[in-house]
Amino acid sequence: MNYESRVADFAGTPDTVAAEAVDEERQSKRRRLIIAAVVAAVLIALAVWMLSHGSEETAFAPEADTTPAVTVVAPGRGTIEGVINATGTLAARRQMPVGAVGEGGRIVNIPVEQGDWVRAGQVLAVIDRSVQTQQVQAQRAQIEVARADAELAQANLDRALQLVDRGFISQADVDRLTATRDAARARVRVAEAQLGELQERNERLNIVAPAAGLILERNVELGQVVSGGATALFTIARGGEMELLAQLGESDLAALSAGASGVVTPVGSEKSFECQVWQKAPTINQQTRQGTARCALPYAPELRPGGFATVRLNSGTLVAPMLPESAILSDDEGSYVYIVGEDNKVVRRPVELGIVTGDGIAIEGGLTGQERVVMRAGGFLNPGDTVRPVVQRSSAG
């Protein structure tokens, strides 16, 4: 009874409970202070260790962060094939217009058609010659008359020569008869020459091919009346040879040489044909600033004169470094690149540009190919800047 009463009295005393709570709070604060002291000691020890063992890395870090990094490449030297892309019009390489060369007349026969192959001298069209035929027959009759007169004059002279020795005919009469005989013979030759002229004119009424080739155009029909020197009645491609009249800019035309090969692709066709440049225009069009390169082509049905075509021409080869366009800068002094020297300093290097291809621009002068050339961001650099080069592998052969 007394024990239970004391417990009840203790549990129920407010001062006792408050004292215990204060003690527990003091112990909790003490533990937190101890933990904080331990953590502070560990941090101090770690800082001391870093200062004593990481001084070199700490000193280098700011320098690495402030130096700009640039991509560089050593392009080397490779064989570069120059290619010029152009467009142009297909045409006959040697186009021959053929028309009437005689007196002309009505067309009575046309034995050929457009697209036919013809040989040299083959008849293309025939002009009516009924009137000319009668003229030839009349001239032949004139020759017979002249020959008869010449024979009579010769007979008279022969008789006179037999009588002159007997004194019946004077020498003057013999001379007169001799002149008459000579004049008669001359008239025979004149008549024969006139017959030959008529026959030649009649032959010219046949319109013939001046050389073998392919008929590209036929501009005449049966019954049409034509005259000499009029519009061409036929157009022939000599030998069937074709060409492409490629239009090139001044620089491309200058870089191209006669004999260069290429590949022609007509519009609307999947076929390609090999060609060869056989002539370059000696002049440049003042309006378009272009010149013409004539590319010879063999005959093919797909090559139609007047059609449009594209061509890829080989402008030669060059052994030189090649750089992308992003690496090449230019100003008033010309083209240049930035290279990175052994001390990682930026140096300006003037260069001479060469062939332009789809893979880059050839450098004909200024580089050996072993330099470290800045690939990009050259416009943000200045000569003498210090950089951190990052080497990019070159694709040059």
**CATH number assigned to the domain comprising residue 186:** 1.10.287
Q: Do residues 268 and 233 share a domain?
A: no
Helix (H) or strand (E) holding 134: helix 130-164
Residue 358 lies in a domain: yes
* Amino acid 311: pLDDT: 93
Q: Do residues 247 and 153 share a domain?
A: no
Residue 397 lies in a domain: no
Residue 87 lies in a domain: no
Q: Do residues 272 and 365 share a domain?
A: no
With both helix axes pointing from N to C terminus, report the angle between 130-164 and 171-203 in degrees, rounded to the nearest 10.
160
Q: Do residues 246 and 305 share a domain?
A: yes
Question: Taking Cα atoms as reference points, which of 260, 252, 354, 358 lies closest to residue 316?
Answer: 260
Site of tokens 């215990």? 20
pLDDT for 157-172, tens place per residue?
888 888 877 767 788 8
Q: Do residues 12 and 117 share a domain?
A: no
Highest mean pLDDT among 55-59, 285-289, 377-381: 285-289
Q: Do residues 250 and 361 share a domain?
A: no
Q: Looking at beta carbons, which pairs linking 280-283 to residues 24 or more positions away fall under 8 Å?
A: 280/253, 280/256, 281/253
The amino acid at residue 159 is R
Would the pLDDT of 1 be above 60? no
DSSP 8-state class, residue 175: H
Q: Do residues 249 and 285 share a domain?
A: yes
pLDDT for 91-133, tens place per residue?
999 999 998 887 788 889 999 999 999 999 999 999 888 787 8
> Domain containing 360: what range?
70-82+320-391
Residue 175 to residues 151, 154, 168, 169: CA-CA distances in angstroms? 17, 12, 14, 11
Q: Do residues 111 and 212 share a domain?
A: yes
Q: How confident is the model at residue 17 (pLDDT cuts 50, 70, 90)?
A: very low
Residue 208, CB-side half-sphere exposure with 13 Å CA sphere: 13
| Cβ(216)–Cβ(304) below 8 Å | no
Residue 88 lies in a domain: no
* Amino acid 263: pLDDT: 93
pLDDT for 185-232, tens place per residue?
999 999 899 888 888 887 878 889 999 999 999 999 998 888 877 788
Q: Provide the domain count of the chain.
A: 5
* Amino acid 33: pLDDT: 72
First to last CA, the chain: 111
**How many other C-beta atoms can be found within 10 angstroms of the C-beta atom of residue 217?**
17
